[in-house]
Amino acid sequence: MTEVKRLVITGVVQGVGFRYAMMAQARLLGVNGWVRNRRDGSVEAMISGDAARVGEMLAWSGIGPAGSAVDKLMVESAVGEFVEFVLRPTA
Protein backbone atom coordinates (compact mmCIF):
# COMPACT_ATOMS: atom_id res chain seq x y z
CA MET A 1 0.00 0.00 0.00
CA THR A 2 1.28 3.45 -0.91
CA GLU A 3 1.87 5.89 1.91
CA VAL A 4 2.01 9.66 1.34
CA LYS A 5 3.52 12.13 3.82
CA ARG A 6 4.06 15.89 3.86
CA LEU A 7 7.23 17.01 5.62
CA VAL A 8 8.37 20.39 6.88
CA ILE A 9 11.98 20.40 8.04
CA THR A 10 13.49 23.26 10.03
CA GLY A 11 16.98 24.08 11.20
CA VAL A 12 20.08 24.57 9.06
CA VAL A 13 18.48 23.08 5.97
CA GLN A 14 19.00 25.69 3.26
CA GLY A 15 22.33 26.39 1.59
CA VAL A 16 23.70 22.96 2.57
CA GLY A 17 22.54 20.83 -0.36
CA PHE A 18 19.58 19.40 1.56
CA ARG A 19 17.19 19.32 -1.41
CA TYR A 20 19.66 17.65 -3.76
CA ALA A 21 20.69 15.11 -1.13
CA MET A 22 17.03 14.38 -0.40
CA MET A 23 16.32 13.87 -4.08
CA ALA A 24 19.27 11.47 -4.37
CA GLN A 25 18.15 9.53 -1.27
CA ALA A 26 14.54 9.34 -2.47
CA ARG A 27 15.62 8.05 -5.87
CA LEU A 28 17.91 5.51 -4.20
CA LEU A 29 15.01 4.24 -2.08
CA GLY A 30 12.46 4.35 -4.91
CA VAL A 31 10.35 7.02 -3.20
CA ASN A 32 8.44 9.54 -5.33
CA GLY A 33 7.36 13.12 -4.62
CA TRP A 34 9.05 16.50 -4.48
CA VAL A 35 11.10 18.85 -2.31
CA ARG A 36 11.43 22.65 -2.19
CA ASN A 37 12.79 25.47 -0.08
CA ARG A 38 10.32 27.76 1.64
CA ARG A 39 10.77 31.48 2.13
CA ASP A 40 10.68 31.02 5.92
CA GLY A 41 13.97 29.07 5.76
CA SER A 42 12.46 25.59 6.04
CA VAL A 43 12.34 22.77 3.51
CA GLU A 44 9.02 21.20 2.50
CA ALA A 45 8.60 17.81 0.85
CA MET A 46 5.97 15.34 -0.21
CA ILE A 47 7.04 11.71 -0.24
CA SER A 48 5.14 8.70 -1.53
CA GLY A 49 5.87 5.01 -1.68
CA ASP A 50 5.92 1.70 0.11
CA ALA A 51 5.49 2.21 3.88
CA ALA A 52 8.92 0.75 4.70
CA ARG A 53 10.66 2.99 2.14
CA VAL A 54 8.74 6.04 3.34
CA GLY A 55 9.84 5.16 6.87
CA GLU A 56 13.48 5.04 5.75
CA MET A 57 13.04 8.41 4.04
CA LEU A 58 11.53 9.91 7.20
CA ALA A 59 14.49 8.65 9.25
CA TRP A 60 16.91 10.20 6.75
CA SER A 61 14.96 13.49 6.74
CA GLY A 62 15.33 13.81 10.49
CA ILE A 63 19.11 13.81 10.09
CA GLY A 64 19.74 15.23 6.62
CA PRO A 65 23.03 15.41 4.73
CA ALA A 66 26.41 16.39 6.15
CA GLY A 67 26.45 20.12 6.86
CA SER A 68 22.78 20.30 7.80
CA ALA A 69 21.35 20.47 11.31
CA VAL A 70 17.70 19.44 11.55
CA ASP A 71 15.94 21.04 14.52
CA LYS A 72 12.45 19.74 13.80
CA LEU A 73 10.79 17.33 11.38
CA MET A 74 7.04 17.81 11.10
CA VAL A 75 5.23 14.94 9.39
CA GLU A 76 1.57 14.67 8.43
CA SER A 77 -0.43 12.27 6.30
CA ALA A 78 -1.25 13.59 2.86
CA VAL A 79 -2.66 12.58 -0.50
CA GLY A 80 -1.12 12.75 -3.93
CA GLU A 81 0.23 10.73 -6.81
CA PHE A 82 3.79 11.13 -8.00
CA VAL A 83 5.74 9.29 -10.70
CA GLU A 84 9.26 10.42 -9.74
CA PHE A 85 11.06 12.60 -7.21
CA VAL A 86 11.72 16.18 -8.34
CA LEU A 87 12.87 19.58 -7.13
CA ARG A 88 10.25 22.32 -7.03
CA PRO A 89 10.77 26.10 -6.95
CA THR A 90 10.83 27.96 -3.65
CA ALA A 91 7.38 28.73 -2.26
Q: Which positions are annotated as active-site residues? A: 19, 37
Q: Strand order in 85-87's β-sheet? A: 69-77, 2-12, 43-50, 32-37, 85-87
Question: CB within 8 A of 18, min separation 6: which ones?
Answer: 9, 35, 43, 64, 65, 68
Paired with 3 in beta bridges are: 49
